[in-house]
């Protein structure tokens, strides 16, 4: 029997093979079954990473909602509104109602005299409340005070 004197190195024997004898390419990376690194695999079917992404970025990371360009005039009005009908249902026994964040709309009727404090009222709502003998209170808006720096004569001559 003839003995081999020198064994060929594995690196030389495995040239051209992808995995150098470790089977599937992913098996010998020393990374377990984690896949890629960082935000890799956070696509549409990334169920295992969704909780992390929602924590970091909120719900806007996935899907097409709230994307694209919209002009300011087309943005949806998200101010709080309430109709007289709802006020009648919710605040039956009260004579004074505080709805500072709401705009009062005129759908429905008011049965008795009520004092309502609100951010704004529609014409029809005002008419209906006053017709029932109620009062309307709109809190005054705080005005912003803007300080204007007056230019001295020296600065005016320098700018010319």
Spell out where the chain has E strands. 80-83, 96-105, 115-121, 135-137
* pLDDT per position as a tens digit, 39-91: 777 777 777 778 888 888 877 777 666 566 666 666 677 789 999 999 989 98
CATH for 80-137 (3.40.50.300, 3.100.10.10, 3.30.930.10, 1.10.10.10): 3.100.10.10
Q: What is the pTM of this model?
A: 0.46
Q: How many CB atoms lie within 10 A of CB 15?
A: 7
Phi/psi of residue 17, each to 5°? -95, 145
């Amino acid at each position: 029997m003839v003995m081999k004197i020198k064994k060929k190195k594995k690196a030389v024997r495995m040239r051209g093979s992808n995995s150098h004898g470790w089977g599937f390419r992913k098996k010998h990376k020393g990374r377990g079954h984690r896949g890629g690194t960082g935000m890799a695999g956070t696509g549409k079917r990334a169920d295992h990473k969704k909780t992390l992404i929602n924590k970091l970025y909120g719900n806007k990371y996935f899907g097409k909602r709230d994307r694209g360009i919209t002009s300011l005039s087309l943005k949806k009005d998200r101010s709080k509104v309430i109709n007289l009908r709802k006020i009648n249902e919710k605040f039956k026994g009260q004579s004074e109602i505080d709805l500072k964040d709401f705009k009062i709309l005129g759908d429905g009727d008011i049965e008795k005299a009520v004092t309502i404090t609100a951010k704004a009222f529609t014409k029809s709502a005002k008419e209906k409340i006053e017709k029932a003998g109620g009062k309307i209170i709109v809190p005054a808006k705080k005005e912003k005070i803007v300080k204007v720096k007056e230019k001295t004569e020296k600065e005016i001559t320098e700018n010319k």
